[in-house]
Amino acid sequence: MAKQSEQVNSARRAKHGWILTLAFAILSIAWIAPILIVFLNSFKRKAYIFKYPFSISTKSIFDGMDTWKAGIDKAMCGLLNYTNALKKTDFFSCFGVSLFITVGSVVAIILCCSMCAWYITRVHNKLTKTIYTLCLFSMIVPFQMVMFTLSKFANILHLATPWGIIVVYLGFGAGLAVFMFSGFIKSISLEIEEASMIDGCSPLQTFFRVVFPILKPTTVTIAILEAMWVWNDYLLPSLVLNVNKYRTIPIAVQYLKQSHGQLDWGAMMAVLVMAIVPIIVFYLACQKYIIEGVIAGAVKG
C-alpha cells in the first residue's frame, strides 16, 4: 500500500512538473518576444516597421533598393539602420560613457558596500544599527521624491560628469548591496577571521584576503543587478549629467527624435539592439551565480 501511494504521489509530481514547465515556457516566450521583435525591426525600413512589425520575410527587410547605389550587396541593405544609428548618435562615444559609468559605479558599490556590510555586521553598536536602518530605508524611498533635490545638490557639488555620477549611483545602490552583503557575512564563521588576525593580518588584510573571496557569489549577483540598472538607466543621467558633453546610450536613443516629433524608428531599433547585446552577454556569463548569491544572502544570522 505504501509503495502504491508513493507511485501515485510520484505521478502527481510529474504531472505538476509538466504543467509548471509549460507555464514557465510560455512566460519566458512573453519576456523574450519583445527583444526578438526589436531585433527583427532593426533591419527594416520605417514603412515596414509599422506595416509588418512581426514579419520575418526577406522582402520586408531588403525591399526598397532604390536608396542604394548599384553594385552594393543586397545583404548590406539590412545594415542601413545600424550605419545610420552609429552616425546619428555617435554611438561609440556614448558607449564609452555608459561603459565607464557602469563599470565605475559597480566597482564602487561592491568595494564600499562590502566593507560597510562587514563592519556593521561584526561591530554591534548604535552607529552600525543606524547605518543599516538607513540603508534599508533608502530601498523604500521612491526616487521621484528626491530627484529634484538631488539634481540641485549635484549641480552645487559639480557632479555633472561621468566621475561625479558614480558617487550618486553609489548612494542609490548602497541599500540593496549592503543588505545582501550583510546577510551573507552573517553566515561566515567568525573563527576564520579570528584565525587570520592571530596570524598577524590587519583588519584590511583580513577583509581582502579572507572575507572578500568568500563573498564571490553575492558579489557577482550584486554586480549583475547593479550593472543592469546603471546601464539601462535614463532618468538619473538626464538629471545629473551635462548631456551636451556626456551622453549615455539611453539618452542617445532619446536624441534620435527629430523636430516635429519625428523619430527614426529603424535607427532607434538598431541602437537598442546594440545596447542590449553587451548586458545580455554579461548576464549570461554570470547567471549561474545569481540564485546561489540570492540564497546565500538570505540566510539568517
Last residue of a domain, one of 65, 84, 103: 84
> Whole-number mean pLDDT of the chain?
80
Of 47-51, 96-100, 146-150, which range is least confident? 47-51
45 with 193, same domain: the answer is no
Domain identity same for 125 and 56: no
Asked whether residue 14 falls in the same domain as residue 106, the answer is no
- The answer to whether the predicted template modeling score (pTM) of the entire model surpasses 0.75 is yes
18 and 129, same domain (yes or no): no
pLDDT in tens, 49-72: 777 777 765 554 544 444 444 444
Q: Terminal CA-to-CA distance of the chain, rounded, Å?
A: 43
Domain count, the chain: 2
Judgement on whether residues 41 and 100 belong to the same structural domain of the protein: no
Smallest CA-to-CA distance from 124 within 301, 300, 297 is with 301
- Please tell me the predicted confidence (pLDDT) of residue 107: 96
> Cα separations (Å) of 70 from 43, 45, 64, 172, 211?
20, 19, 13, 54, 64
Last residue of a domain, one of 84, 102, 137: 84
Q: Are 222 and 216 in contact (CB under 8 A)?
A: no
Which cell is 144 given?
521621484
As a whole number, mean pLDDT of residues 92-103 equals 93
Domain that holds residue 40: 2-84
Pair 160, 243 in one domain: yes
Residue 128 scores a pLDDT above 60: yes
pLDDT band at 169 (very low <50, low <70, confident <90, very high): very high
Asked if 37 and 105 sit in the same domain, the reply is: no
Considering 24, 57, 84, which residue would you say is the last residue of a domain? 84
Q: Do 79 and 101 lie in a common domain?
A: no
Mean pLDDT of 39-52: 78
Q: Are 117 and 178 in contact (CB under 8 A)?
A: yes
CATH number at residue 187: 1.10.3720.10
DSSP string, 269-288: HHHHHHHHHHHHHHHHHHTH
- Helical packing angle, 265-286 and 80-89, nearest 10°: 90
User: Does 174 have pLDDT greater than 80?
Assistant: yes
pLDDT tens per residue, range 188-246: 888 888 888 888 888 888 899 889 988 888 898 899 889 999 999 998 998 888 888 88
Phi-psi region of 260 (alpha: psi -120 to 50; beta: other; left: phi over 0): left
Looking at residue 5, its pLDDT comes to 55
In this prediction, residue 63 carries a pLDDT of 45
Q: What is the DSSP letter of 72?
A: -
Q: At 108, list the grid cell.
A: 564602487
Query: Which of 273, 266, 276 is closest to 88 using CA atoms?
Result: 266
From the list 283, 298, 122, the residue with the least C-alpha distance to 218 is: 298
